[in-house]
């Protein structure tokens, strides 16, 4: 078994609220992310740090020493040029992206990685325009100009100073002189390393300045929760976008903190692309695997149908980690069964946090029997539980929490309460009310829950997961409806593997009727269902590029479909139970 920190939580009641913290004191974090890069390059210069697949399909690898050398060249160039940033990075994960980012961090120049989808999958570029208005960048990085030219032209950045992957080689050999070395020494914990943008689930994306202190404190928290990482360096195969905190802060930071190797996966959980992920997993099996539930939903069927792939994938796997959304229990149990079939006992776990908390606030660093438990406060983190309707709203304070959003041209409601706790908007409940160290269960977004006309509260997040489990493996996702109505109904998307199968409606009817027998309450029993053909739209804020579906935004945008669910005489496409 791998070594884990034993959970030990203090719970104190003050002024009607409950405060939770770990008894374990947070150790001193590194000062900067650049310090981690230097440390690794000195300790194991020849070990792979970054790898990616080239156009010819062959893996390109850069060692720790090579990445550090190139990042120093980039840093020297930025200092000589007087570039104060932010450098907006529009293209996806790559070695060039990483080396530019690390060079900027060494130099104290802020980078702002932006979701690639805002440039390549958008029709109106509205979200990209909102990001650019907040940042007013002087420099842009794109891997190649051609795919991004329409977006750059649309938001007025085509004439802005630009770096591309083809020009990075010239920057990376810029010599470092005494003047640049003095500038490097000025970078410290309070220097802003990057600006990350929220998914925009409650409006336009909001800019989150993220300091070296926040990133390094979070990596220190992870290191103390997972001491097994010190035993052997992590090897990751990872597609998660660096424009988000999960992939770019948590996972890439984990490799930098622990001297590991990061294979940049050119696949993703989507038809035609998951095969690239499978190829990469065969070539470099990970020691620890991180993805969102949609990633496991795409990968698990391949593991179940290919024993060779299963055995390679689990050959040295220690942890299977999910975050970004709750994992349906069906996927959890299938993953555990696959590991055991491969002769492995894998630690399946999760954590909880947000872009604003860089990202981890709680960690499930103890054995779990199923999905739902988000763990306990990590060392250095304080949680405050506040009664909100029939929920416990959770708030966060610690050295990993941001100081406030970028000005966005419109007044922002302060995200902090009068004690300085960040009001994240999530709800939790106790795994065991008698034992705070048993962890907390995620209980949905406070803003996504609603009341029926009967007065019953519907816990959207909890019900969504339960229904996906009940209907597994037929649905890829669903949206719970019923606000100001007398009963619950759902909009849903069929799983690609179920499309075209005979009897899908009958199987869904049977699954939902069985669920209603076990959950007969007004706030849980589903009375109607409508399958949607149009996938959720990233432009409209219905989904993020990690696969999180915004329940409230879908209900608003698809008001006509919701109306069909609640029509007095529903049309033939509506499944009535």
Q: What is the CATH number of the domain that holds 472?
A: 3.30.300.30
Q: Is 244 a member of any domain?
A: no
Between 456 and 317, the more confident residue is: 317
Q: Is residue 466 domain-shared with residue 414, that is, in the same domain?
A: no
Q: Is 103 a member of any domain?
A: no
Pick the last residue of a domain from 415, 431, 446.
446
Q: What is the mean predicted confidence (pLDDT) over 146-157?
A: 96
The pLDDT, as a whole number, for residue 546 is 67
The pLDDT, as a whole number, for residue 200 is 65
- Domains contained in the chain, number: 2
How far apart are the C-alpha atoms of 413 and 452, rounded to whole Å?
28
The overall average pLDDT reported for the chain is 93
The pLDDT, as a whole number, for residue 203 is 64
pLDDT bucket at 500, cuts 50 / 70 / 90: confident
Torsion angle (degrees, nearest 10) of CA 409, 247, 466, 484? 10
Q: Is 563 a member of any domain?
A: yes
Q: Is residue 403 domain-shared with residue 549, that is, in the same domain?
A: no
Pick the last residue of a domain from 446, 474, 500.
446
Residue 293: domain span: 1-28+269-446
Q: Is residue 374 domain-shared with residue 477, that is, in the same domain?
A: no
The pLDDT, as a whole number, for residue 179 is 84
pLDDT per residue as tens digits for the range 47-65: 999 999 999 999 999 999 9
Asked whether residue 312 carries a pLDDT value surpassing 80, the answer given is: yes
Q: Is residue 458 domain-shared with residue 377, that is, in the same domain?
A: no
Asked whether residue 221 carries a pLDDT value surpassing 90, the answer given is: yes
Asked whether residue 320 carries a pLDDT value surpassing 90, the answer given is: yes
Q: Is residue 554 domain-shared with residue 437, that is, in the same domain?
A: no
Q: Is residue 409 domain-shared with residue 523, that is, in the same domain?
A: no
pLDDT bucket at 222, cuts 50 / 70 / 90: very high
What does 310-367 look like in DSSP terms, one character per residue? HHHHTSS--EEEE-SSPPPHHHHHHHHHHHHHTT---EEEEEEE-GGGSSEEEE--S-
Pick the last residue of a domain from 426, 446, 466.
446
Q: Is 12 a member of any domain?
A: yes
pLDDT per residue as tens digits for the range 75-112: 999 999 988 779 999 999 999 999 999 999 999 999 99
Q: Is residue 434 domain-shared with residue 507, that is, in the same domain?
A: no
pLDDT bucket at 462, cuts 50 / 70 / 90: confident
Q: Is residue 291 domain-shared with residue 427, that is, in the same domain?
A: yes
- Give the three-class secondary structure for 63: strand
pLDDT per residue as tens digits for the range 123-145: 899 999 999 999 999 899 999 99
Q: Is residue 540 domain-shared with residue 502, that is, in the same domain?
A: yes
Predicted TM-score (pTM) of the model is: 0.86
Q: Is 15 a member of any domain?
A: yes
Q: Is residue 454 domain-shared with residue 550, that is, in the same domain?
A: yes
How far apart are the C-alpha atoms of 71 and 103, rounded to whole Å?
4
Q: Is residue 439 domain-shared with residue 321, that is, in the same domain?
A: yes
Q: What is the mean predicted confidence (pLDDT) over 18-35?
A: 98
The pLDDT, as a whole number, for residue 243 is 97
Q: What is the mean predicted confidence (pLDDT) over 513-527?
A: 90
Q: What is the CATH number of the domain that holds 4?
A: 3.40.50.12780
How far apart are the C-alpha atoms of 536 and 544, rounded to whole Å?
9
CA dist 9 to 25, 27, 130, 353, Å? 11, 17, 41, 18
Q: Is 428 a member of any domain?
A: yes
Q: Is 216 a member of any domain?
A: no
Q: Is 264 a member of any domain?
A: no
Q: Is residue 524 domain-shared with residue 385, that is, in the same domain?
A: no
CA dist 562 to 484, 490, 532, 542, 552, Å? 12, 8, 11, 15, 12
């Amino acid at each position: 078994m791998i070594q884990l920190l034993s959970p030990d939580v203090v719970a104190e009641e003050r002024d009607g609220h409950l405060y939770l913290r770990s008894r374990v004191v947070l150790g001193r974090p590194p000062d900067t992310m650049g310090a981690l890069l230097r440390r690794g390059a000195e300790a194991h210069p020849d070990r792979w740090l970054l790898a990616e697949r080239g156009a010819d399909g062959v893996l390109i690898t850069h060692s720790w020493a090579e990445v550090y050398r190139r990042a120093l060249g980039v840093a020297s160039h930025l200092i000589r040029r007087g570039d104060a940033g932010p450098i907006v990075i529009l293209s996806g994960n790559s070695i060039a992206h990483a080396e530019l980012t690390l060079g900027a961090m060494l130099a104290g120049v802020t980078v702002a990685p932006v979701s690639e989808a805002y440039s390549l999958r958008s029709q109106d570029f509205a979200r990209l325009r909102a990001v650019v208005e907040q940042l007013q960048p002087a420099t842009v990085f794109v891997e190649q100009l051609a795919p991004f030219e329409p977006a750059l032209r649309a938001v007025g950045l085509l004439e802005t100073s630009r770096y591309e992957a083809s020009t990075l080689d010239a920057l990376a050999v810029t010599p470092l002189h005494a003047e640049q070395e003095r500038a490097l020494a000025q970078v410290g914990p309070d220097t802003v390393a990057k600006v990350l943008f929220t998914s925009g689930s409650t409006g336009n994306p909001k800019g989150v300045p993220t300091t070296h202190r926040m990133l390094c404190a979070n990596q220190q928290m992870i290191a103390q929760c997972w001491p097994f990482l010190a035993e052997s360096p992590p090897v990751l195969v990872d597609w998660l976008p660096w424009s988000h905190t999960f992939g770019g802060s948590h996972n890439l930071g984990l490799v930098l903190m622990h001297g590991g190797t990061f294979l940049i996966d050119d696949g993703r959980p989507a038809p035609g692309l998951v095969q690239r992920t499978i190829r990469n997993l065969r070539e470099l099996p990970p020691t620890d695997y991180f993805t969102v539930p949609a990633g496991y939903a795409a990968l698990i069927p391949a593991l179940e149908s290919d024993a060779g792939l299963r055995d390679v994938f689990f050959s040295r796997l220690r942890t299977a980690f999910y975050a970004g959304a709750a994992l349906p229990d069906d996927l959890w149990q299938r993953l555990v069964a696959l590991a055991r079939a491969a002769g492995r006992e894998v630690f399946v776990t999760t954590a909880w946090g947000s872009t604003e908390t860089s990202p981890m606030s709680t960690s499930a660093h103890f054995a779990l029997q199923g999905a739902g438990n988000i763990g306990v406060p990590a060392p250095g983190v304080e949680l405050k539980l506040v009664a909100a309707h029939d929920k416990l709203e959770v708030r966060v304070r610690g050295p990993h929490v941001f100081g406030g959003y970028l000005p966005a041209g419109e007044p922002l409601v302060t995200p902090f309460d009068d004690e300085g706790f960040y009001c994240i908007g999530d709800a939790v409940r106790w795994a065991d009310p008698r034992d705070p160290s048993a962890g907390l269960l995620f209980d949905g977004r406070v803003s996504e829950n609603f009341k029926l006309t009967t007065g019953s509260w519907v816990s959207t997040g909890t019900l969504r997961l339960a229904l996906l489990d009940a209907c597994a493996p037929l649905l890829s996702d669903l949206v719970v409806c019923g606000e100001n109505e007398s009963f619950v109904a759902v909009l849903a998307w069929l799983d690609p593997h179920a499309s075209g199968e005979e009897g899908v409606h009958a199987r869904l009817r049977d699954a939902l009727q069985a669920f209603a027998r076990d959950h007969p309450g007004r706030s849980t029993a589903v009375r109607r269902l409508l399958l949607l053909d149009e996938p959720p739209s990233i432009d409209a804020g219905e989904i993020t590029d990690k696969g999180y579906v915004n329940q409230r935004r879908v209900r608003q945008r698809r008001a006509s479909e919701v109306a069909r669910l609640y029509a007095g005489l529903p049309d033939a496409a509506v499944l009535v139970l």
